[in-house]
Amino acid sequence: MSAIHQNVSTSLSASTSTFLSHNNLNSLRPSHVSVAGRMSAVVICVATPSAEKTGASLLSLSNHFSILTVGATFDEAYKTNVARNENLAKLQAGYLFPEIARRRNAHIAKNPDAKVISLGIGDTTEPIPEVITSAMSKRSEVLSTVSGYSGYGAEQGEQKLRAAIASTYYAGLGIEENDIFVSDGAKSDISRLQVLFGSNVTMAVQDPSYPAYVDSSVILGQTGLFQKDVEKYANIEYMRCTPENGFFPDLSTVGRTDIIFFCSPNNPTGSAASRDQLTKLVQFAKENGSIIVYDSAYAMYVSDDSPRSIFEIPGAKEVALEVSSFSKYAGFTGVRLGWTAIPKELHYSDGFPVAKDFNRIVCTCFNGASNIAQAGGLACVSPEGIKAMHEVVGFYKENTAIIVDTFNSLGFKVYGGKNAPYVWVHFPGRSSWDVFSEILEKTHVVTTPGSGFGPGGEGFVRVSAFGHRENVLEACRRFKELYK
Ligand SMILES: Cc1ncc(COP(=O)(O)O)c(C=O)c1O
């Protein structure tokens, strides 16, 4: 990319956020306008080096495009007669990751010589183990041969990989190869699951939680409007998770919903639910006739006896399905490979199997994961691959220990870290965004403000352990300097 393009896209990814922050565009101009910016138009979307790579679907959109404004005004822009999807219009201003990118870019512009370290995004940094990449290389090479070429595969994934995932992650738990749907990642599966459930279901989320659950629910039309006073969408049950309740919701105060999103080990708090807690959750779902969507994207980070899968809990197969991913185990955030496990025992109120409907969704909305990525997945779950993934996870967990020790030594209350690559640091009585800004301005380290994960995250900052060792050590040295 030329210098000029770099400049343009850097400066304008800031305007992307400005664009997205105008939730009610109609208040800014007299009639419907399909694109927005700084009140000028003829808009060109350009791919930019992606800044922040997690968060909800709409966030991703803003990550991949910057808006170039070239002179004309909005009023001159051609407008279609298509009304904007009103559910998308409900999504809120100040999206977490674009806002972080905007602030980071502004910081870099103000401090061009600063060595900015990012412990904010939650994207992996370490190379994919060779045993895995060599399997992908081989698969890509045989695609150039007549005998080795393959086109569309099974929408559900290659049978060998489905079987290997079932036997690696669900041995003895009654999950079989045909219960596994291989995907291009957990985030896409979360959205496909929302399509599966449709607009009429109600849902609950941990508060704080990974933003994709709430945003995809809003997009599907399951929610009401955002209520600014409480920072919540109407019609979503926010299950507060705090240090006081051990980051497990008080289920006696949680209303019944159809769907319960539950992530353990949790992003962002880093806490893993215990066997007892998950047993309560399964009981709660059974009493209410709810379905748990259990996100185990960080299961391999568990280092105590917390369950790695919801299916370790007796009875869970009747009330739960599980989404998971190779992203944070093998550095597959760019390769893209995950899976969803749906037990045969999981049924709708009319007795129809959930897996059958999901199969229909997968066949309609997805054509199967990349065959090259699936070859990588198969290598991941080979004995050497599992060992290599444990080494990757072990490396990030050493980073976590360094970050935890640093904040502990400074007298902060620190949560998470033990079973997850995230450290959840408490700054009581302070705004998460203020702390984020303080850390960025004074140490040039990017973190993530807890309130971006839901109102329950206010007063916390998430520090990610995904980083090169020298960067983590340097960031911790700067934290010590700031808070000594
Ligand atoms: C809890 C959780 N679930 C799912 C994902 C998305 O994973 P994938 O890369 O497989 O889409 C993430 C990514 O950060 C995550 O934190």
Gap from CA of 326 to ligand 1 centroid (Å): 9
Whether 373 and 313 share a structural domain: yes
Q: For position 93, what pLDDT does the model report?
A: 62
The answer to whether position 468 is within a domain reads yes
- Over the chain, what is the mean pLDDT? 87
Q: For position 45, what pLDDT does the model report?
A: 31
Gap from CA of 295 to ligand 1 centroid (Å): 8
Whether 150 and 30 share a structural domain: no
- The DSSP-derived string for 83-138 is PPPHHHHHSPSS-HHHHHHHHHHHHHHH-TT---EE-SS----SPPPHHHHHHHHH
The answer to whether position 220 is within a domain reads yes
- Structural domains counted in the chain: 3
The answer to whether position 83 is within a domain reads no
- Which residues fall within 8 angstroms of residue 63, CB to CB, at 6 or more apart? 48, 50, 51, 52, 53, 97, 98, 101
Tell the residue nearest (CA) to atom 2 of ligand 1.
Answer: 297
pTM of the predicted model as reported, rounded to 2 decimal places: 0.86
The answer to whether position 244 is within a domain reads yes
Whether 269 and 366 share a structural domain: yes
- Dist CA 131 CA 103 (whole Å): 38
Q: How far is C-alpha 416 from the geometric centre of its chain's CA atoms? A: 17
Whether 159 and 265 share a structural domain: yes
Whether 54 and 26 share a structural domain: yes
What are 429-445's pLDDT values in tens digits? 999 999 999 999 999 99
- Which residues fall within 8 angstroms of residue 169, CB to CB, at 6 or more apart? 175, 299, 308, 309, 324, 341
Angle (CA) 183-188-194 rounded to 5° is: 115
Whether 376 and 471 share a structural domain: no
> Quick check: 38 pLDDT over 80?
no
Tell the residue nearest (CA) to atom 14 of ligand 1.
Answer: 54
- Picking from 401, 403, 405, 406, the residue whose alpha carbon sits closest to that of residue 418 is 401
Q: Which of 325, 333, 419 to mutate to test the pocket of ligand 1 (most atoms within 8 A of CB)?
A: 325
Gap from CA of 212 to ligand 1 centroid (Å): 9
Last residue of a domain, one of 321, 351, 383: 383
- CA-327 nearest atom, ligand 1: 9
Q: Assign residue 278 the CATH number of its domain.
A: 3.40.640.10
> Quick check: 55 pLDDT over 80?
no
Last residue of a domain, one of 362, 383, 404: 383
- Quick one: tokens of 359? 């199969």
If one compares 321 and 13, the residue with the highest pLDDT of the two is 321
Estimate the crossing angle of helix 469-483 against helix 432-443, to 10 degrees: 110
Q: Which domain holds residue 41?
A: 4-74
Containing 63, the helix (H) or strand (E) segment is helix 57-64
Query: 437 and 106 in contact (C-beta within 8 Å)?
Result: no
The answer to whether position 263 is within a domain reads yes
Q: How many residues in total does the chain contain? A: 484
Whether 306 and 445 share a structural domain: no
Q: For position 76, what pLDDT does the model report?
A: 83
> Quick check: 376 pLDDT over 90?
yes
How much of the chain exceeds pLDDT 70, in percent? 84
Q: Assign residue 422 the CATH number of its domain.
A: 3.90.1150.10
Among 68-82, 363-377, 455-469, whose mean pLDDT is lowest?
A: 68-82
Gap from CA of 344 to ligand 1 centroid (Å): 25
Whether 136 and 274 share a structural domain: yes
Q: How far is C-alpha 384 from the geometric centre of its chain's CA atoms? A: 27
Q: For position 100, what pLDDT does the model report?
A: 85
Whether 378 and 429 share a structural domain: no
- Picking from 340, 379, 354, the residue whose alpha carbon sits closest to that of residue 155 is 340
Provide residues with CB under 6 Å of ligand 1.
54, 122, 185-187, 210, 263, 267, 295, 297, 325, 327, 333, 338
Residue with tokens 């597959």: 332
Residues of 386-416 as b/e, b for ≥16 C-beta within 10 angstroms? bebbeebbebbbebbebbbebbeeeebebbb
> Quick check: 14 pLDDT over 60?
no
Q: For position 298, what pLDDT does the model report?
A: 98
Containing 395, the helix (H) or strand (E) segment is helix 383-409
Whether 179 and 271 share a structural domain: yes
Whether 118 and 166 share a structural domain: no
Q: Which of 187, 296, 310 to mutate to test the pocket of ligand 1 (most atoms within 8 A of CB)?
A: 187
Amino acid at 305: D
Secondary structure class of 197 (helix, strand, coil): helix
Last residue of a domain, one of 365, 383, 401: 383
Gap from CA of 187 to ligand 1 centroid (Å): 6
Whether 268 and 177 share a structural domain: yes
The answer to whether position 270 is within a domain reads yes
> Quick check: 96 pLDDT over 90?
no
